[in-house]
Amino acid sequence: MMELTKGVCQDKRELTEKEALEILKSEEDFWEFYGQAVIIKNHFTRTKMSLNVLLNAKSGLCAEDCGYCAQSKDSESEIQVYSLLSGDEIYKRAVIACKRKARTLCIATSGTRLNKEEITRLGEVIRRIKADMPLKICLSVGLSKKDQIFYLKSCGVDRLNHNLNTAEGNYQKIASTHTYKERKETLKLMEEMQVHSCSGFIAGMGETDEQLVDLAFELKDLNPHAVPVNFLIPIKGTKLEDFQQLTAMKCLKILTMMRFLFPRTELRASAGREYYLQELQPLALLITDSIFLGDYLTSAGQEEDRDIAMLDLLEFAYEPEQS
């Protein structure tokens, strides 16, 4: 393990699929893997932690049938439903994110993709935000087209989020209104157009360990700029409301595997960390590079004060760099 870690830190060695599976299936020897993941984190980013704030800028009204999502057309969850927020409202949320010491504002919209008027509105307010604030902007706007990506890039978007969500072999059990292939093609289009991508997955949706390893290595091939690792929050009213596949230790094993696989990439302990890890959350922070502050799209996150208290306890540096 120490030789593997040394090789990873010196860019002379990469984790193999066999080793990744060993981490996921580890038992008493897990803490040896975990300890080496801490060394990798410390080697590349030490005590740095990036704070992200997520804005659900358009909620519900979605024609997709993703089984994990409260905004899905098949969901019976009770959520707020609204069209795209005004530019002024999005700008106001950006100001608040700055005051919360966030480095990145992640703006997400429901639906397959936005129309021309919606894309234009987003582009205009992003120009305002980038002119006035040191915030980075990450957008999650569905299956983006080439002209949309080009326009958003010209407005100053720093990266586009588009998760693979689950393994290809598990995908049809989760969503049928679009395909895994379409998601991969969108990410390849971003790479072609030289736009940074933010792409990860949601663990705990019925995938096997082998499928999770396959997914992680496919993701690596797509060269994302940031990797959010989400853990399924079983939301009442969704197709997956009764899924309880994960444990706190399984979540730590997944993050450990991803740290080895993405030693230099921003690795985020994302949605569900509070739900599963609870008091063990600091262990996740020790091997990752970023978190979300506050709430997620339709689920409540942990109180911001508790997140900051954890970071302070670990003596992490989370002040954003001024541009």
Do strands 50-58 and 104-109 pair parallel, antiparallel, or not at all (unpaired)? parallel
In a domain, 143, yes or no: yes
Distance from C-alpha of 6 to C-alpha of 218, rounded to nearest angstrom = 24
pLDDT, position 61: 81
Q: Which of 136, 110, 126, 103 is nearest to 58 (CA)?
A: 110
Task: Determine the pLDDT at residue 216.
Answer: 98
List pLDDT tens digits, range 83-106.
999 999 999 999 999 999 999 999
CATH number reported for the structural domain that contains residue 257 in this entry: 3.20.20.70
For residue 323, pLDDT over 60 is answered with: no
> Is position 184 within any domain?
yes
Question: Which pLDDT tens digit goes with each residue over 198-241?
Answer: 999 999 999 999 999 999 999 999 999 999 999 999 999 999 99
Structure tokens that stand for 55 in this block: 């804005």
Task: Name the pLDDT band for 322 (thresholds 50, 70, 90).
Answer: low
Report if residue 312 sits inside a domain.
no
CA angle 93, 267, 51 (to 5 degrees): 30
Residue 301: inside a domain, yes or no? no
Give me the domain span that covers residue 263.
30-296
pLDDT band, residue 301 (cuts 50/70/90): confident
Per the structure block, which two tokens stand in for 211?
A: 């499928």
Lowest mean pLDDT among 21-25, 124-128, 267-271, 301-305: 301-305
Per DSSP bridges, beta strands 290-293 and 50-58 are parallel
Mean pLDDT over residues 31-59, rounded? 96
Torsion of CA 45, 189, 203, 78, to 10 degrees: 110
Q: Is residue 16 part of a domain?
A: no
In this prediction the pTM is 0.95
What integer is the mean pLDDT of 76-80? Answer: 89
Mean pLDDT of 44-56: 95
CB atoms within 10 A of CB 288: 25
Mean pLDDT of the chain: 94
d(CA 111, CA 163): 14
What is the spatial distance between Cα 232 and Cα 272, in angstroms, rounded to a whole number?
6
| Domain presence at residue 303 | no
Number of domains in the chain: 1
CA 6 vs. chain centroid, Å, equals: 27
DSSP string covering 107-142, please?
EEE-SSB--HHHHHHHHHHHHHHHHH---EEEEE-B
